Every structure is written in C-alpha cells, then in structure tokens.
Amino acid sequence: MINWIWICMAAIGIIYAMFSGNMEAVNQAIFDSAAQAVTLAIGLISILVFWLGMMRIAEEAGILKGLAKLFRPIVTKIFPEIPKDHPALGYILSNLTANMFGLGNAATPLGIKAMEEMKKLNNHSDTASRSMITFLILNTTGLTLIPTTVIGIRMQYESASPTQIVGVTLLVTCIGTIIGLIIDRIFYYKSKWRKS
Amino acid sequence: MGFISLISIWIIPCFILMIMIAASIRKLPAYDLFVEGGKEGVKTAVSLLPFLVGMITAISILRSSGALDAFVQLLSPVLAFIGFPAEVLPLALIRPISGTAALGMTTEIIATYGPDSFIGLLASVMQGSTDTTLYVLTIYFGAIGIKKTRYALQVGLIADLFAILVAVFLVTMMFG
C-alpha cells in the first residue's frame, strides 16, 4: 500500500506541474528536498544518541522494570481475561514501558512475545482474542512520554522551543489511549451481545 | 494550561536527574552505558536516512507542483466548518498507514509553515501522539498467524480519528 501512495504522490505532483506550470519548482524541489532529508537524518543523530544513551542507563538502573511494577495493577484491570500471574502480562508491561520511552526497536519483539502468550491462552486459534485486540490498541494509540524524533525535527528547523509540544503531546496521547480503550470495550460488548 | 507548559520544560531535565540518581545508587558505569546505548542512536538515524529521502522528495514534488495546496484549498471550507485546519489533513490521513510517510509529511509541514506556527505545532503533536495503526496490526498479527482480526482495525482507526480531533482541540486551546 505504501508503495502505491509513494508513486501517487510523486506522479500526481509531476502531472499536476505539467498543467500548473510549476515544473521548474518541481525540478528544483527534487534535489533540494533530497539534500534536506539527509541534513535532517544527520541532525537527528544528536537527539537519538543522547536519548538512547540515557535510556540504556535507565534500563540497567531498573527504572523501566520499576515502572512496569507500578503499572501492573492497572494493566491487570485492562486485561481481565489474562490470569494475574501469566507470563503474557510481564511481556505486555515490558512492551508498554519500552514504547513509553521511545524504544520502538526493543518494544516490537516484546510485543510479539506477548501476542504469542495470548495466543496460547486462546487455544492457538487463528482468530484474534479480546486481549490481543486490547493490546493492539494500547500500541496503536502510541503511549509515549517524550516524542524524541519530533523534538529532533523541530530542532532542525530552528524552533524557538523544540520541547514546547511535550506537555500537550503527553495529554493527547493519554486521552487518546483512554478513548481507544473505551471504544475497544464498546466493540467487545457489542460483539458478545450479537453472539448471544 | 500553564501547568502543561511547565511539564514541557521540566520533564526531560527531571528525568535525566532521576536516571543519574538511580545509576549512582546502583553504582552503575553510567558513562560507559550512555556511550554504548548512544551507538544505537547513530544506527537508528542512519537507517532512517533512505526512508526520509524517499518520502520527503515525493511530498516535496507534490507540494511544489501546487497539487497539495490545491487539495488543501478545495477542502478548507468544508473542514473550517468543524474547526479543522485543512493543512494537516494529509498528515492525518497518512498517520495510521505509514510511519515513515507520516514522519516525512510532518517534516515537510514544519519546513513549510515553521515549527512554531500553529500548523507546525499541531503537526508535531499529531505525529508524536499516535502510532502507525496499520503497521502495528500487520506486524503483530502477522508474526503469530492471526487471520481473523475481528474488530481490531475498526477500533484502531476510530481511536486514531479521536486522537486527531483531541490534538486539534487541545493545540487550538493552548496555542491557537
């Protein structure tokens, strides 16, 4: 799908330029923007190195594990179908804390482990269980404490205050996650009600 | 609202202080760990490079041809009716589909309108506050062989829609 979107953006742009008379601007943009993207990626190194370096210390110091412990009672409530001492909960918690700190690369394998455990609970069926969908929603609503990449981009474009958006982003992501969980519950009860 | 601005300034330094204290209590080689973890950051940024070049170039073609502005202008009157700025609609549409495309779009919007403009702030918040629904669904369900996804996609997309509306509402309240 993304391949088609990519082709469409470039192709529509070039065809539109044929008629709007902006071909010179397009020609210029192709090379300017490629160079701009490289500058940006290089610029992002600064914040990514700093953040991932800090996070390595936080991980070793047990801060992520401590947070996971803190969230455990809430998460057991969110997943009523998973027994309290089941390994699935541990993986879910590790995945969520990794995501919160922007450790996407570490979060994905933990998330897959969590899904595997939930599949065992669901008798290895190829149908998504209620817990799996709830877990998916927690991941797609993107619960993040500090949006490092966005701060990096804002730095690159000389924002007067790159971190200005941190508070609002946190608020939006929290409200978004709560709304996501509510919608998930509504759909679950609707599907249960339809069955009976 | 003042409290939220305060969080933006205090959260990162306080978090770093917390890490330093925790590291010294546990007697960790903090600096060595920092350097080791930082290497991951170089790898991540470099691996992002081709994605960003591809996406930002395609979006820039669309922008400089005038097609993107024509699209925005066409939808502006309809969206203005509900107080939704049409300039961020392309980002809202692509956010659930592709992470790198959304990142490219956010960058392009920030470059065009400025990072501290209302549109630039809104794009920043939208990019930072949700994740790529379709990607997450494909990766997780694909990895464990789930074929019947039931209501997962619907819930994911409806949640994205609400997150975007909440972002527009709160950014308007704080910076509008």
Read off the tokens for B107. 């960058």
Produce one character per residue of A102-120: b if its CB has 16 or more CB atoms within 10 Å, e if not: bbeebbbebbbbbbbbbbe
The Cα–Cα gap between A134 and A181 comes to 7
Among A111, A172, A88, A25, smallest CA distance to B136 is for A111
Spatial distance between the Cα atoms of A175 and A75, rounded to a whole number of angstroms: 16
* pLDDT reported for residue B1: 63
Residue B98 gets the label, from left (phi > 0), alpha (psi -120 to 50) or beta, of beta
- Nearest-angstrom CA–CA distance, B40 and A65: 21
Contacts of A126 (CB under 8 A, 6+ apart): B145, B146, B147, B148
- Tens-level pLDDT at each residue, chain B (176 residues): 678 888 888 888 999 999 999 999 999 999 999 999 999 889 988 988 999 999 999 999 999 999 999 999 999 998 988 889 999 999 999 999 998 899 999 999 999 999 999 999 999 999 999 889 998 999 999 999 999 999 999 999 999 999 999 999 999 999 97
Predicted confidence band at A1 (pLDDT cuts at 50, 70, 90)? confident
Instruction: State the Cα–Cα distance between residues A118 and B101, nearest whole angstrom.
Output: 31
Element (H, E) at A110: helix A104-121
pLDDT in tens, A89-134: 999 999 999 999 888 888 999 999 999 999 999 999 999 999 999 9
Q: Do A180 and B16 touch (CB under 8 A)?
A: no
User: Is residue A51 scored above 90 in pLDDT?
Assistant: yes
Contacts of B48 in chain A (CB under 8 A): 41, 44
Interface test with A, best of B6, B110, B124 (most A CBs within 10 A): B124
Tell how far CA B133 is from the center of its chain.
12
Quote the crossing angle between the two packed helices A87-100 and A63-78, to the nearest 10°. Answer: 120
Residues paired with residue B148 on neighbouring β-strands, in sequence order: A127
In this predicted structure, the answer to whether residue A196 has a pLDDT above a threshold of 90 is no
Count other C-beta atoms under 10 Å from residue A146's C-beta: 19
Interior CA angle at A28 toward A22 and A30, to 5°? Answer: 105
The beta-carbon neighbor of B166 closest among A45, A146, A172 is A172
Q: Which amino acid would we find at residue A45?
A: I
Which of B38, B67, B128 is facing A12, going by the closest CB pair?
Answer: B67
pLDDT for the residue A45? 93
- What are A187's two structure tokens? 């759909």
The amino acid that residue B47 corresponds to is S
Residue B82's pLDDT is 85
Side chain identity at residue A55, one-letter code: M
DSSP SS3 for A127 = strand
Distance in angstroms (rounded) separating the CA atoms of residues B50 and B125: 24
| Spatial CA neighbour of A180 closest among B7, B26, B153, B64 | B153
CA distance B73 to chain A (A): 15
Q: Give the mutation candidate from B5, B146, B169, B170 for the A interface (greatest A CB count, under 10 A).
A: B146
